[in-house]
A and B are shown apart, each in its own frame.
Chain A
Amino acid sequence: MFLNLLFLMSAFLTVGSAVLVLTTKNIMHSCVFLLGSLIGVAGLYATLDADFVAATQIMVYVGGVVILMLFAVMLTGGKDFISKAQNLLGLIPTMGNKWSYSIGILVSLVFVFTNIQLLSRLGTMSTLKNNGSFGSSIREIGHLFVKDHILAFELSSVLLLGALVGAAIIARPHRHQGHDHD
C-alpha cells in the first residue's frame, strides 16, 4: 500500500515536473521544475529497492547538477532574461517558435509510437516474479564496483578528472580581449 502510494506520488511528480520544464517561460523556473522531476525519479528508485542509487541521485543531481545549472542561468542571464517581447503563442524568443515545437513534438511522437510497438510484446516476455527486496544493496554494489566493473570504475575517475580540468580551462577568463573572432 505504501509502495503504491510512493510510486503514484513519484510518478506524478516526475511526469508533471517534466511537462512544466517543457512549458515554462522562465528558464530559472524550468531549472527548479527539473529539480522536482529528479526528486521524483529518486522516489521511483526507492520503490525499486535501489536505496543507494536513490541517495546518489539526490546528492549528485539535486545537490550538484541543478545548483550548477542555476548558477549558469544566473551568470548568463543577459538581455534575453528580461525580454518581455512575445510572439502570437506567448513565447519569448529564447523558447523557440511554433516550428521548433512542432518538430520536437513530432519526433517525440515517433519515439512514443515506436516504444509502444516494442512494449506491446512485453506481455509475452518472461519476467521473473518479484521475490522480495534485496535488503540494503550498498555492500553488493561496492563488491561489484571493485570486482566486476573495476575497469569502468577507474575510467570514470579519469573521466571526472578530465571533465574537471576541461571545464576549468574552457570557462577561464578570456585573455586576448582585442583579438577578433570570426
Chain B
Amino acid sequence: MISLASYLVISMILFAIGITVMIARKNIVAILLGIELILNAAALNFVAYSKFVTQNLDGHVFSLFIIVIAAAEAAVGLAIVIRFFQLKETIHIDEATQLRN
C-alpha cells in the first residue's frame, strides 16, 4: 500500500506549499519558514529513494547533511532578520531596498 509514489506526492505537496509561502508572504521570518518546508521535502525524497530504489544508506547521509545545512541557514538568516529589524524597525520584505540603485 505504501509505495514510493505516496512519499513523492507528500514531498511534492510540501514543496509546493513551501514555495507558495516563500513567494506569497511578506514577513521575512515567514519566508524562512517556507525555506524550511522546501528543505524538508528534499530530504524526504532522499530517504524515500534510499529505501525503495537504491537500498543503501547514502540517502540517509544526504538527508542528515540537508538538516545540517538547514540549521546553519536558519541561524544566519535569523541573524540577518534581527539586524534588519534593528535598522528598519520592521520585518516587512518590501522595506528591504537598501541595495536598490
The residues of A with any CB-CB pair to B shorter than 8 Å are 3-4, 7, 11, 14-15, 18-19, 21-22, 27, 30-31, 34, 37-38, 41, 44-45, 47-50, 52-53, 56-57, 60-61, 64-65, 68-69, 71-73, 75-76, 78-80, 93-96, 100-101, 103-105, 107-109, 111-112, 115, 119, 122, 127-128, 130-131, 134, 137, 140-141, 144-145, 148-149, 152, 156, 159-160, 162-164, 166-168, 170-171, 173-174, 181-182
The 4 closest A-B pairs by CB, nearest first: A104-B23, A163-B72, A104-B24, A108-B16
Pull 25 A–B residue pairs with CB atoms less than 8 Å apart, ordered by A.
A14-B10, A22-B17, A30-B30, A41-B43, A41-B44, A48-B51, A53-B63, A68-B78, A80-B91, A80-B92, A94-B26, A95-B25, A95-B27, A104-B19, A104-B22, A109-B16, A111-B19, A128-B52, A131-B55, A144-B58, A145-B61, A156-B65, A163-B73, A163-B75, A173-B86
A102's closest neighbor in chain B, by CB?
Answer: B24
Given contacts A30-B33, A94-B25, A159-B72, 6 further A-B contacts (CB under 8 A): A14-B10, A15-B14, A34-B37, A78-B85, A119-B9, A130-B52
Contact of A108 among B19, B33, B64 (CB under 8 A): B19
Are A105 and B79 in contact (CB-based, < 8 A)? Answer: no
A to B contact number (C-beta, < 8 Å): 236
Say whether A170 contacts B61, CB under 8 Å. Answer: no
Q: How far apart sit A53 and B63, CA to CA, in the bound complex (Å)?
A: 7
- Dominant SS at the B interface? helix
State the B residues within 8 Å of A (CB): 1-10, 12-27, 29-30, 32-34, 36-37, 40, 43-44, 47-48, 50-53, 55, 57-58, 60-61, 63-65, 67-76, 78-83, 85-87, 89-92, 98
Residues of A within 8 A of B64 (CB): 52-53, 56, 141
